[in-house]
Structure 1
């Protein structure tokens, strides 16, 4: 029994039984310990951004953390972009980052770095095991922090803490504090705001976008006429028969116009909406001047219970209003292969219970409009704006939810950041359909150039914002990673490929040439 064994036991006793890994030399004792624990499923990623993105997708669906295994500071640094997305999604995760033996740090070997400083900006909690008997309590603290924030915990495991002998004392599951109840004053303020007769909105985020919470929000909307809006969150439960909260638009002018008539906003897990970026002459806060903001509940509260309490206080008992028809009633799209046509084809065919991972960016088409009438599904978007999450996110979701079809809407430029995740999908035989929107451009950046007044691109700008010369061959890339793939150039061809992909199991990629 050594420190590495104790870490495995401490993870398993808390139900953490999946480890997404890209290990190195300093983690070999932990790898050996994992090998002695068949209860732990170990999934290899060929790049740390795949590892952290997959752990994010897993936890969003499992509602519990996976562990990651990362090699020293550089390995952690390679995974930071998707840890940023996980932090914004408030995803529970436990990063195990190996470090040199404690006595070796003073020698400043080539891979020595300040791991705490690298971890802290993307972690809610950072801790280091001082020795083998410290490993289990530190792991318990990491688990409690990951579940109660919720968010990212980073546990640093020195090599000598892993290899040294540890006492084999019994372990018990770590107790996690229950979410705090909402304050009576917050409830009273929200009731008063919604009874004031002013133009009002509920702004929902986090677990307020799960089915039960949405149903309560729908009753409130039916009783008061309040508008339901959502902010980008780790997981939203959407589809026909479910209450839909309209997303606050990404384009700043559209967002300002959408929210322009609001006089009061009640926050339920959300925050005051702001622009993704600053633009000359445009506001940073998207609410109109003078709009009152009332915070009913934060992520530290039980958001579903908060909405139920608000509904009861308002006497909102009538069933929520949902759509009475489904996307399957839409006519099949014809003509050119466009984002709008693809979103209609996906909406018509998506099976009930599917998980839709969304890094389509500018190619999302009509999905936001179609989501309320699609088959009931879970929506997992990019949350922090750090591109390169779609492929690993879908892999992690598939590990967490076997038996459910995962569909990844993937922009081509961002897909190249973590294309190695296709190999993980193939190795684990994960049931993921990846749709690559092959427009051969960083189209979102082209739009941002126009937002700052640049409408004509010269040679330098064009070469930085396009993905041609040479064109990416996604079919060859996928097949080289072990994933079957095919190319669509017409909407009819795309629909046939998508239908066939839904009928089979295992990973499949469709390159949709726009």
Structure 2
């Protein structure tokens, strides 16, 4: 078994069965392994941002990672915008990037690049598999990292000789860390604020998993019981919408409109959300969108 075959088998063992790809010469052994081994659905993208954007969207809707296949450092660079969006959306992706053979890198061939350096700006986990014997274990680590809450881009760089050399070993799936739970003390503290203020001046800012249907129902119950306001982050990976769902507004994009929307907030409670800030900085306008004297409370962190 070569390294590429161990990679495909390890991906399948880890529940990764969709590959969005834009491969080149360095990735042909991996492509051949995809063809030989049943179970992986491979989808060709004609440009790298199609590949990375599709993998981002797949996580948002399926709640499981797909893998990508990109051609060397320049191919990764072409797909960085999609990976940036995925990082902001907290999407899990196993991002596989082919590279020069290990022995060939010192000769500085035309597509030789700082692939690891480019990957680090959009990835929570980066590793280069320099031996076919390590490819399976490294792939299992990438899957684990991608699945770690709330979802992360994990980039596995695969030199072509690690792919074609024999000695590959299929690795078992690694356990995924449990999703952290909200701090009970924070829950009690926010409940106290809601009771004492009777909801006046209190806003729950929802993001991430708090925008799924079940969480929206609970947030609406809290708002109905206390009189607090609900608002969603300005940019969100996925929001439950449609008939019978909560009519939930977002933090406005325009700074003046956002400042007006949050003007009466005295207690801002973050529920799987970040503190609201302006999309850009503007002369004479604040970066933070809530009032300067508003208290900030973290009910549930991003993860």
Which TM-score tier does this pair reach, normalised by the shorter chain?
over 0.9
Match of 1:147 in 2: 147
Q: Which has the higher contact order (CA 8 A, sep 6+)?
A: 2
Partner of 1:246, secondary structure, is: coil
Work out whether 1:275 is the aligned partner of 2:293. Answer: no
| Cα 1:152–1:167 shift into 2, 3 Å | closer
Partner of 1:286, secondary structure, is: coil
CA contact (8 A) 1:204 1:245 kept: no
User: In structure 2, how many angstroms separate the alpha carbons of the residues matched to 1:196 and 1:135?
Assistant: 57
User: In structure 1, how many angstroms separate the alpha carbons of the residues matched to 2:205 and 2:298?
Assistant: 10
User: In structure 2, how many angstroms separate the alpha carbons of the residues matched to 1:135 and 1:56?
Assistant: 24
Instruction: Give the ranges of 4+ consecutive aligned residues of structure 1 lying more than 6 Å apart after TM superposition.
Output: none
Residue of structure 2 aligned with 1:255, choices 255, 258, 280: 258
CA contact (8 A) 2:4 2:168 kept: no
User: In structure 1, how many angstroms separate the alpha carbons of the residues matched to 2:282 and 2:42?
Assistant: 45
- Matches of residues 54-453 of structure 1 in structure 2 within 5 Å? 54-149=54-149, 150-168=151-169, 171-197=171-197, 198-231=200-233, 232-300=235-303
CA displacement 1:113-143 (0-9 Å, x = unmatched): 0111101111111111131121111111111
- Matches of residues 474-493 of structure 1 in structure 2 within 5 Å? none
- Measured after TM superposition, the shift of residue 185 of structure 1 is 2.0
Higher deviation after alignment, 177-186 or 155-164: 177-186
- Measured after TM superposition, the shift of residue 167 of structure 1 is 4.6
User: In structure 1, how many angstroms separate the alpha carbons of the residues matched to 2:166 and 2:189?
Assistant: 57
| Aligned length in residues | 299
Match of 1:11 in 2: 11
User: In structure 2, how many angstroms separate the alpha carbons of the residues matched to 1:296 and 1:166?
Assistant: 49
- Measured after TM superposition, the shift of residue 66 of structure 1 is 0.7
The two structures have a TM-score, normalised by structure 2, of 0.96
User: In structure 1, how many angstroms separate the alpha carbons of the residues matched to 2:53 and 2:6?
Assistant: 26
Partner of 2:196, secondary structure, is: coil
User: In structure 1, how many angstroms separate the alpha carbons of the residues matched to 2:195 and 2:169?
Assistant: 60
Partner of 1:42, secondary structure, is: strand
CA contact (8 A) 1:67 1:96 kept: yes
CA displacement 1:330-372 (0-9 Å, x = unmatched): xxxxxxxxxxxxxxxxxxxxxxxxxxxxxxxxxxxxxxxxxxx
Structure 1: gaps (5+ residues): 301-514
CA displacement 1:482-509 (0-9 Å, x = unmatched): xxxxxxxxxxxxxxxxxxxxxxxxxxxx
Partner of 1:196, secondary structure, is: helix
Partner of 2:87, secondary structure, is: helix
Q: Which of structures 1 and 2 has the bigger CA Rg?
A: 1
User: In structure 2, how many angstroms separate the alpha carbons of the residues matched to 1:142 and 1:172?
Assistant: 12
Match of 2:34 in 1: 34
CA contact (8 A) 1:214 1:244 kept: no
CA contact (8 A) 2:59 2:66 kept: yes
User: In structure 2, how many angstroms separate the alpha carbons of the residues matched to 1:90 and 1:244?
Assistant: 24
User: In structure 1, how many angstroms separate the alpha carbons of the residues matched to 2:188 and 2:226?
Assistant: 15
Partner of 1:177, secondary structure, is: coil
Partner of 2:121, secondary structure, is: helix
Partner of 2:296, secondary structure, is: strand
- Measured after TM superposition, the shift of residue 162 of structure 1 is 0.5
CA contact (8 A) 2:133 2:169 kept: no
- Measured after TM superposition, the shift of residue 86 of structure 1 is 0.7
Partner of 2:240, secondary structure, is: strand
User: In structure 2, how many angstroms separate the alpha carbons of the residues matched to 1:97 and 1:189?
Assistant: 46
User: In structure 2, how many angstroms separate the alpha carbons of the residues matched to 1:87 and 1:269?
Assistant: 15
CA contact (8 A) 2:134 2:168 kept: no
User: In structure 1, how many angstroms separate the alpha carbons of the residues matched to 2:190 and 2:108?
Assistant: 56
